[in-house]
């Protein structure tokens, strides 16, 4: 019995290949579609993994499964919605997450629309996450649940999906371990069985991010300032539990420390970064603790326990707050315990979400290292992702 038509985003990797195979086994009518998001080969490491190879692999998988295959060119929308946004964010000294945006803006928006035009009932991707559904007050509520393989769980990358997008999404490999996915691919003889996982930007292929940024953001020499661990800015005021204060990034100034070197543009660096500074000779390695893109200054501190790297709270304005579970949206004045993640693959951290008139404050039980403006914070209840937002 046909279960409906599903369009699989075939990326040319093993995960999406097995996704297509499993859906076919389950009785769906499967169509493979490859998204072409990028034309500019000058920034891809072209001999490693250009989209041409991926597209050929995707085509071979479709042929071996006997499913229809087409390519869709989304490079214009990708540039507009992802790349331009990335450049603007880096310019402002923030660190965006292109993968989260790619899922919200490309895969589950433009790609989803294209699939629906083909008469599809669902779109499917090779993400390591799971979907649940529960009837609440007479209507179906969809749940975004972590993947069974804790090492590969990709629910964080889908943290901006809404109920409508989730209702049409399928994640057929979410209950499997990566090793099991490779085994299935080998048993079925898929050409992608032993292919390495891609490390590039979402669907662009392998891109060197600094090269990519330098195309748009011009290098500009500036000072690297080292701030000592005992700088007055880190002094705690007794039992001060002012959330706004706790969530505000440290504002360092050159008077607080010493100039220890030069850099080629504050917008190329991100908080917590250690590599790429090119400054040695300190007892402990230097880490970036603040990037001031307005004055083109990078503030650094020695050692990974430098107090400038840690904060116990963050803020997300209302305009950047998103609830996957709209039925669990908090009201002003409410506080609730959640498990929180501020970057992909970070183990979940215990904390409290406070809803105020301005937005959401997340207060952590333990101070967190490298809270980075522009990145996404996501909050979970056990294995279920409830909501997310852009860190201010």
Q: State phi, psi for 230 to the nearest 5 degrees.
A: -95, 20
Bridge partners of 376, per DSSP, are: 390
Residue of 49, 129, 159, 202 with catalytic role = 202
Task: Give whole-number Cα distances, 299 to 164, 183, 342, 343, 374, in Å.
Answer: 43, 47, 22, 22, 18
Helix (H) or strand (E) holding 226, with range, is strand 222-226
Rounded to 10 degrees, what is the CA torsion of 151, 155, 156, 157? 110
Residue of 102, 129, 159, 382 with catalytic role = 102
Task: Give whole-number Cα distances, 54 to 30, 70, 182, 183, 236, in Å.
Answer: 19, 13, 17, 20, 53
Cβ atoms of 48 and 206 closer than 8 Å:
yes
CA 117 to chain centre: 28
Distance CA 271, CA 95 (A): 8
Question: If phi over 0 gives left and psi between -120 and 50 gives alpha, with beta otherwise, what is residue 292?
Answer: beta
Quick one: CA dihedral 49, 51, 52, 55, positive or negative? positive
Q: Is-catalytic flag, 159?
A: no
Q: Is-catalytic flag, 102?
A: yes
Please tell me the chain's helix, strand, coil percentages from 3-state DSSP, rounded to the nearest 5. Answer: 30, 30, 40
Catalytically active residues are: 102, 202
């Amino acid at each position: 019995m046909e279960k409906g038509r599903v369009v699989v985003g075939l990326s040319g990797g093993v995960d999406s290949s097995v996704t297509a195979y499993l859906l076919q086994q389950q009785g769906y009518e499967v169509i493979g579609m490859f998204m072409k998001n990028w034309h500019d080969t000058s920034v891809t490491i072209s001999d490693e993994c250009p989209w041409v190879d991926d597209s050929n692999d995707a085509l071979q998988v479709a042929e071996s499964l006997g499913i229809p295959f087409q390519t869709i060119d989304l490079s214009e929308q990708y540039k507009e919605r992802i790349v331009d946004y990335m450049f603007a964010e880096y310019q402002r000294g923030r660190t965006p997450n292109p993968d989260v945006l790619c899922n919200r803006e490309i895969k589950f928006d433009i790609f989803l629309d294209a699939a629906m035009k083909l008469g599809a009932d669902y779109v499917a991707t090779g993400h390591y996450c799971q979907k649940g559904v529960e009837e609440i007050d007479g209507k179906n509520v969809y749940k975004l649940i972590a993947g069974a393989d804790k090492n590969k769980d990709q629910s964080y990358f889908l943290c901006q999906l809404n109920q409508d997008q989730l209702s049409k999404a399928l994640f057929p490999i979410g209950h499997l371990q990566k090793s099991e996915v490779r085994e299935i691919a080998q048993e079925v003889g898929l050409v992608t069985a032993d292919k390495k996982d891609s490390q590039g930007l979402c669907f662009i292929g392998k891109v060197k991010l600094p090269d990519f940024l330098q195309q748009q953001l011009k290098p500009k020499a500036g000072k690297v300032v080292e701030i000592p661990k005992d700088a007055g800015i880190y002094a705690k005021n007794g039992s001060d539990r002012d959330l706004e204060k706790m969530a505000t990034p440290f504002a360092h100034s050159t008077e607080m420390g010493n100039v220890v070197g030069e850099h080629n543009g504050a917008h190329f660096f991100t908080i917590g970064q250690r590599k790429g500074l090119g400054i040695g000779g300190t007892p402990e390695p230097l880490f970036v603790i603040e990037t001031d893109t307005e004055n083109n200054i990078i503030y650094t501190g020695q050692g990974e326990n430098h107090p400038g790297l840690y904060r116990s709270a963050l803020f997300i304005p209302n305009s950047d707050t998103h609830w996957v579970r709209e039925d669990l949206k908090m009201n002003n004045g409410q506080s609730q315990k959640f498990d929180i993640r501020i970057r992909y693959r970070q183990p979940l951290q215990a904390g409290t979400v406070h809803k105020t008139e301005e937005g959401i404050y997340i207060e952590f039980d333990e101070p967190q290292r490298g809270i980075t403006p522009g990145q996404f914070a996501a909050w979970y209840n056990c294995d279920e992702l409830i909501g997310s937002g852009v860190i201010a």
